[in-house]
Structure 1
Amino acid sequence: MPRPRPYDTEAAFAGELNGVRPELSAPYAAALPGARAAVLTRLWRALGHEPLPWIAGREVSSDGLTVLLRDGRRLRGPCADPYATDAYVTEVLLEGRPYTRPEALVRALGVPHGGSFAAELAHSTASSALSRADRAPGGPGAGADSGEWERRIVDGHPYHPCCRARPGFSVAEQFAYGPEHRPEVRLGLVAVRDALVSGAWPAWLRDGERTLIPVHPWQAAHVLDAEVRPGFAAQPLMSLRTLAVPDGPHVKTALSTRLTSSVRDISAYSVRTAQTVSAFLADLVERLGLPLRVTRTLGAAGAGTPDLAAVLREPPDAHAGPGERCVPVAALPLTGLPGRPGWSAAFARLALGTGLRLLEAGVALEAHGQNLLVVLDASDTPVRLVYRDLADIRLGPDRLARHGVPVPRLSGRIVTDDESALRRKLFGSLVAGALGAVTGSAAALAEALENAAPDLPRTADLRALLDEPLPAKALTVMRLSPGTPGDQWTLLPQPRCGPRPL
């Protein structure tokens, strides 16, 4: 009996697209090869650098990389630059057979949990092509706020193979809710009696004794079993579940679907601690005199379940002064600024100097390109940073105590004195993530680090940053290990040969 053909997500998207936006059918088809290469490049990075249990070894030569599988088969492709963001991998050879579609390669590998991973890769490819086909023409105007820059990002996470995967979202729902498609989203409201609330929950989100919790319309349609009232309009940001209210706060909703690595929601722990963490970090930054601003948590509310909660934050643009603009770090490549001589080194000096001083004091930021924004002056010089979304920072009580900083009353995953965990959090997000993506290659990252290094604070953390392999989340290992909770890690080579002088 012939084997059934695997489900073709690209073709399914094309069929749906023809029904809802037929004018984009041809641009979508034209965007597919580039989208496949973008996802395949991210997958090849993982195959070249992550500790996948079914890989026996790797052989690097002047003309490429060979990955040796434990079953004796061989994969062949270009050298895998762990910091590259260009889509430079258009095909990978498995036992001499070429593969251009990442999901087809994973199916051919036949690895544990590969079926669901292959489906997400296919969704990532098709969604990326959809985003590219509907790309906004031109660039944001001179007065563009940070949200406009976020809505220009079409390719998602710079290193995750599931960079644009949105399982459970139809094509119509992608157009309705995806920030790159520039929709207006009407959030709903669920009235909750005896809600868990921290901070100052505003009067316009109360109905007598009941708390009105904003909910994402996808959540209302697919997850919640509750009466949802009409709410208010907002514009989605790059995290999809966070939206900007015009002339109001940013609203983080509990959109409990899988986006890249994990299913997102808002736990009761996050609701309880949001205000405390926000106030603590803002006060510490001011005490240290750092060129960093924290978007304060205004309030958080939940119904005691992770799929019905919301957090209100101040918008990051509040921290840009006259003549300045606030740009998400993930959008910096779109500005063209990293290509200017010395600009990336200036940004690295600002970001690393700030991150290392906080780390020395006992706070490790998860400073990836989505959480971190940079304020640029009128000449586009980076002058300060803005940090948002405090749910995944880490606090080291021992380090804080050594610096005479009162430790807030917190427990759980946010608190740790494990030096490796603190360094992983900052280095993995800021260097192997944000700075790598801004510079775009190992060579460019090495140049930025070497130019910035002489001006960075001389700490033990700096020596570890510049001399040891760089930690990065093992994003593909995590997707292929559904029974293992939490982050898993790999070590990437330093983007240069030999130690840097300190």
Structure 2
Amino acid sequence: MTSLALDSCPAALAEEASVAALLRCCVREVAGPRGQVWQAEPYVLLRVADTLLRVRTHGGLALRFDGPPEWLEHGCWQPLGADRLVGLVEAELGGTELGERNEEFAAQVGASREAMAALLAARRETPAPADPWLASEQGLVLGHPFHPSPKARDGEGWLRYAPEAHASFPLRLLGVRDDVLAEAGETGALDDLGPAPSGYSPLPAHPWQLDLLAAELAAPLADGRLIDLGYGSRPAIPTSSVRTVYEPRIDRCLKFSLDVRITNCVRKNSWYELAGAVELTHRLGPVFEDLSAVFPGTRWLAEPGYRSAELGTRLLEGLSVIIRTSPWSVCTPGVTPLLSGALAVPGAPPPDPVRWWRAYVEHVALPVLEAYLSHGVVLEPHLQNVLVGVDTSGLPVEAIFRDLEGTKLVAGRHDLSGLPGRIAEALTYDPGRGWDRVVYCLMVNHLSEIAASLAGRESTRELWAVAGEVLTGYAAPRGWPRPLADLLAGAPLPAKANLSVRWARSADRSAGYVPVANPLAVLS
């Protein structure tokens, strides 16, 4: 999701990427809302902490950069480094409603920069997976383009488990005594990972998580409630989220808890999310049957079961694993699944970019809109939650939606009366919040990045005109639903405020939105 050359010096590339990500945040969340951004072709100018900055841009809403950003010092333009930009952000945001100061901020940006450099260096030593889907999962080296610390990671020893470093590793296998086994849904695939003694069930575990939980695990391992069955016989491959791996022995994806902060969140399965995944899988089956009937290329990755150990909330969550269908098992033969986030990284464009884009928008956008408008289901179609199935010519022919943690039901449109209150609460959004999430993920996070990569340094206008045609063709026979009519009329789009939530040290679920220009506006 950047125009930087990945064969550059790792430290230099990490510095450039860090500056670019933080500067994009400044345009979107700091200078923009204050009216301190101006177009002065070929530059975008902005003011942060009374300092004038400039950078050449392309890519429209995605805000790709051509050349290094600069700052004005005594009438002369100077190269802008990450440390200086961090200082400007600290000066601008300190003392505002977002908080007096954030002593962690500079360290988080620095840690992200160091992590990028380490990942880039490690990739030179280890080849990418031969499987094109897994190679795409492990391709997001520089992370979220609008996050101040996109690769910040807590803890030691993380590099050996990093998908961006082309990692693979065997899982650890625990035996859970039957009287403390916690599970729901379809979990039989886990029994094929290896034998467990009579009276025990096998439970795969991420080795990094077991290290993090070592103190809590000592007692149940000592008294036999858990037993250590050693390492698996084949390596698992981490996917883009870090904590979810593909286990080839059972052809399943396994989503673990990982008590590590990655970008905004500590990545653990909360107890209510475990039950919620199984509940949503049950409820979404008929929805995706309907979606695939209307849009035949629509697929999804169900999460039919979870397993853990009933040893208190900490270990129930910490040892949990959610079972997820693998993408190869849902794609039509001859169709190759690829992570959308990898497709947003600039590369060689397809032979007919406009035809490719039309097919992409049809397969990705229309099922998302139909799910919300007709079924009251909020999918979360950001770049890491969507896989696109391409045919032998590379043309998009299927879209695969995944990760039920971010999928919600619109409140008032589903009967949740039989669910415990906390589970029902975690499964729902009110209509407005749900629509904002759909539009942010689909338009701002996803389609704008794909369009920028397709267009290169050319204007994205033609691509957005095609997207407008596709969306209009969907809206017209459905009577122009009001949310969609507003979108096509050019209403501003909600963009997630990642810098603000990090500065305020708030939970990611507290993140708000800032309005950004709708690329469909100039077409209406």
TM range (shorter): 0.7 to 0.9
Residue 122 of structure 1 deviates from its aligned partner by 1.4
Deviations 1:2-34 (A, max 9, x none): xxxxxxxxxxxxxxxxxxxxxxxxx99822222
Residue 337 of structure 1 deviates from its aligned partner by 4.6
Task: Establish whether residue 346 from structure 1 lines up as the match of residue 359 from structure 2.
Answer: yes
CA contact (8 A) 2:153 2:262 kept: yes
Which of 411, 433, 450 is 1:438 aligned to?
450
Task: Establish whether residue 447 from structure 1 lines up as the match of residue 426 from structure 2.
Answer: no
Task: Establish whether residue 152 from structure 1 lines up as the match of residue 139 from structure 2.
Answer: yes
- Name the CA distance, whole Å, in 2 between partners of 1:240 and 1:345: 31
Deviations 1:430-478 (A, max 9, x none): 2111212212279755433320322332132322323211112111111
Which of 87, 106, 113 is 1:125 aligned to?
113
Counterpart for residue 62 of structure 1:
40
Which deviates further from its counterpart, 390-399 or 201-210?
A: 201-210
Residue 60 of structure 1 deviates from its aligned partner by 0.7
CA contact (8 A) 2:306 2:323 kept: yes
Which of 268, 278, 291 is 1:275 aligned to?
278
CA contact (8 A) 1:107 1:114 kept: no
Residue 154 of structure 1 deviates from its aligned partner by 2.1
Residue 395 of structure 1 deviates from its aligned partner by 0.8
Task: Establish whether residue 101 from structure 1 lines up as the match of residue 81 from structure 2.
Answer: yes
CA contact (8 A) 1:348 1:449 kept: no
CA contact (8 A) 2:52 2:72 kept: yes
- Name the CA distance, whole Å, in 1 between partners of 2:338 and 2:199: 39
**Mapping of residues 129-148 of structure 1, within 5 Å:** 129-135=117-123, 144-148=131-135
- Name the CA distance, whole Å, in 2 between partners of 1:201 and 1:376: 30
Residue 43 of structure 1 deviates from its aligned partner by 0.9
Which deviates further from its counterpart, 364-373 or 295-304?
A: 295-304
1:422 aligned counterpart, secondary structure: helix
Residue 309 of structure 1 deviates from its aligned partner by 1.2
Which deviates further from its counterpart, 40-49 or 76-85?
A: 76-85
Residue 394 of structure 1 aligns with an amino acid whose one-letter code is: K
Quick one: structure 1 residues 59 and 339, their matched pair in 2 at CA, closer, same or farther if it must change by over 3 Å?
Answer: farther
- Name the CA distance, whole Å, in 2 between partners of 1:499 and 1:332: 25
Counterpart for residue 502 of structure 2:
479
2:371 aligned counterpart, secondary structure: helix
1:411 aligned counterpart, secondary structure: helix
Counterpart for residue 11 of structure 1:
none
Quick one: structure 1 residues 186 and 114, their matched pair in 2 at CA, closer, same or farther if it must change by over 3 Å?
Answer: same
2:61 aligned counterpart, secondary structure: coil
Residue 137 of structure 1 deviates from its aligned partner by 9.6
Q: How well do the aligned residues superpose, as a CA RMSD in angstroms?
A: 3.2
1:344 aligned counterpart, secondary structure: helix
Quick one: structure 1 residues 105 and 261, their matched pair in 2 at CA, closer, same or farther if it must change by over 3 Å?
Answer: same
Deviations 1:305-355 (A, max 9, x none): 332211111111112222221111111145635674211232112211111
CA contact (8 A) 2:280 2:404 kept: yes
Quick one: structure 1 residues 82 and 116, their matched pair in 2 at CA, closer, same or farther if it must change by over 3 Å?
Answer: farther
Residue 385 of structure 1 deviates from its aligned partner by 0.8
Counterpart for residue 23 of structure 2:
44
Which deviates further from its counterpart, 90-99 or 192-201?
A: 90-99
- Name the CA distance, whole Å, in 2 between partners of 1:377 and 1:258: 37
Residue 259 of structure 1 deviates from its aligned partner by 1.0
Quick one: structure 1 residues 138 and 83, their matched pair in 2 at CA, closer, same or farther if it must change by over 3 Å?
Answer: farther
Task: Establish whether residue 161 from structure 1 lines up as the match of residue 148 from structure 2.
Answer: yes
Counterpart for residue 55 of structure 2:
78
- Name the CA distance, whole Å, in 2 between partners of 1:136 and 1:237: 19
- Name the CA distance, whole Å, in 1 between partners of 2:450 and 2:492: 19
Counterpart for residue 301 of structure 2:
295
Counterpart for residue 3 of structure 2:
none
1:240 aligned counterpart, secondary structure: coil
Residue 256 of structure 1 aligns with an amino acid whose one-letter code is: D
CA contact (8 A) 1:250 1:314 kept: yes
- Name the CA distance, whole Å, in 1 between partners of 2:520 and 2:126: 36
Task: Establish whether residue 34 from structure 1 lines up as the match of residue 13 from structure 2.
Answer: yes
**Structure 1: gaps (5+ residues):** 1-26
Counterpart for residue 185 of structure 2:
199
Which deviates further from its counterpart, 96-105 or 391-400?
A: 96-105
Residue 494 of structure 1 aligns with an amino acid whose one-letter code is: N
CA contact (8 A) 1:195 1:302 kept: yes
Deviations 1:105-127 (A, max 9, x none): 21354334443122121122222
- Name the CA distance, whole Å, in 2 between partners of 1:201 and 1:389: 17
CA contact (8 A) 2:272 2:426 kept: no
Task: Establish whether residue 219 from structure 1 lines up as the match of residue 209 from structure 2.
Answer: yes
Counterpart for residue 411 of structure 1:
424
CA contact (8 A) 1:397 1:407 kept: no
Counterpart for residue 486 of structure 2:
464
Task: Establish whether residue 392 from structure 1 lines up as the match of residue 380 from structure 2.
Answer: no
CA contact (8 A) 1:58 1:65 kept: no
Which of 69, 92, 96 is 1:91 aligned to?
69
- Name the CA distance, whole Å, in 1 between partners of 2:470 and 2:414: 24
- Name the CA distance, whole Å, in 1 between partners of 2:229 and 2:29: 46
Residue 371 of structure 1 deviates from its aligned partner by 1.0
Which deviates further from its counterpart, 420-429 or 31-40?
A: 31-40
Counterpart for residue 357 of structure 1:
370
2:255 aligned counterpart, secondary structure: strand
2:258 aligned counterpart, secondary structure: coil
Counterpart for residue 183 of structure 1:
167
- Name the CA distance, whole Å, in 2 between partners of 1:93 and 1:114: 23
* TM-score, normalised by the number of residues in structure 2: 0.79
- Name the CA distance, whole Å, in 2 between partners of 1:485 and 1:157: 14
Quick one: structure 1 residues 452 and 484, their matched pair in 2 at CA, closer, same or farther if it must change by over 3 Å?
Answer: closer
Residue 273 of structure 1 deviates from its aligned partner by 1.6
CA contact (8 A) 2:123 2:165 kept: yes
Residue 455 of structure 1 aligns with an amino acid whose one-letter code is: V
Residue 254 of structure 1 deviates from its aligned partner by 0.5
Equivalenced residues, count: 462
Task: Establish whether residue 423 from structure 1 lines up as the match of residue 435 from structure 2.
Answer: yes
Residue 516 of structure 2 aligns with an amino acid whose one-letter code is: L
Which deviates further from its counterpart, 145-154 or 81-90?
A: 81-90
1:90 aligned counterpart, secondary structure: strand
Which deviates further from its counterpart, 292-301 or 267-276?
A: 292-301
Counterpart for residue 4 of structure 1:
none
Quick one: structure 1 residues 104 and 328, their matched pair in 2 at CA, closer, same or farther if it must change by over 3 Å?
Answer: same
Residue 369 of structure 1 deviates from its aligned partner by 1.3
